[in-house]
Structure 1
Amino acid sequence: MESDLFPPAGAPQPEDGSRRSFMKQAGGILGLALAPPLVGQAERLTAYSKVIQGATDITLRVNGQAHTVRVEPRVTLLDALRERLDLTGTKKGCDHGQCGACTVHVGGRRTLSCLTLAVMAQGKEITTIEGLSQGEQLHPMQQAFLKHDGFQCGYCTPGQIMSGVACVQEGHASTDAQAREWMSGNLCRCGAYPNILAAVREVAQRG
């Protein structure tokens, strides 16, 4: 019976008469040829390890003003805003990106600040609930929330308003169904959804 151990008569044979040992030698040579240099690999790992070490000073531009804060790489934007800059309007709800209470705008886009590292927001314009109004003049979305009583306990309200502003700016509030869909990431445990929807739709209809 023909097999790897008993090749057919006349088949070419390696010098030591063992096909298996020949394949082992060939595989070893190929592995050495393809393996990355050990020194290069060590250098790459060393370079990566230098990226995140200890606290460092970063600059965050929040509500039109630049702030220098000292944070570790793991600090979230939410914690930097609340604990370093005393901007407590942005709320910490679930801290897992599921409730939307921490919604802010980063670079003009709504962002869950509990899932965003502070160091990632450098060089971008950050807007929090404190930055929406112009002095005593409330933002139209804030006015609409007051008019339609779009809150009860108020804990989710900053995130709801920030998300509502972005929803209108994105053009995702042209119908009730569309606004509900694009606001669905913001939870209200008090159940004020009809009033929140009415506020968002009114601002959208104003253009």
Structure 2
Amino acid sequence: MIAPEIIARRIGAEQQPIAIVDGFHPDPDTLCDAACAASFGPAPRHYPGIRAELPADYFAQVRPALTTVLRDVFGAPRQIDLLDASFSIVTAPPATLTPAQRLPHVDAVARGRIALVHYLSRDHGDGTAFFRHRTTGYETIDEARSADYLARLEAELRGSAPPAGYLNGDTELFAEIARVEARYNRAVIYRSALLHSGAISPDARLDPDPATGRLTVTAFLATA
């Protein structure tokens, strides 16, 4: 078995760490077979697509790589709690996206939260992009910044909703500061407070079939 390849980067003016892990899962083909056999349904919250349960042994399989990343890139945590994880596929047509789905977002503002996206499309598909809010200069939104950021963003959007469609590159309000390209069995791991979005191209195949769609694992962790 080939050991995962871990690349640590610091991005943007705030120099926040992210980790890119190729070969994240030891048996991605079997994992994809499990996705093809899974029962998908509408995703909760703001995710523009569908999701399904992961195999029970998923985190046991990726724990060696994940533990190394959390220790070496984000600082050795005393405790790691899994908050949520699933297979996920982007399926929503661009014209149906809500205003919030057309903007960068953060997954949590609380300290110690970590997000993971594990790409499983065999033709690679679209990756993940990270952003800076031009007005405030914020690249992360923590508890101290949240109220100010949301008030300024609301003022900017008042009477001028973002264009219909998935975010892909710079906009009037946000500058892209980094992008991780999708690759089969690659994971990107980052602090949940980073402004980010799926980098969904205008001609993306929004296919609900796990064998041909933008299949990922998305997961959220709390560390202390």
TM-score after normalising by structure 2: 0.21
**In proportion to residue count, which structure has more helix?**
1
Instruction: Identify the structure with bigger relative contact order (alpha carbons < 8 Å, sequence gap 6+).
Output: 2
Structure 1 or 2, whichever has the larger Rg, is 1
**In proportion to residue count, which structure has more strand?**
2
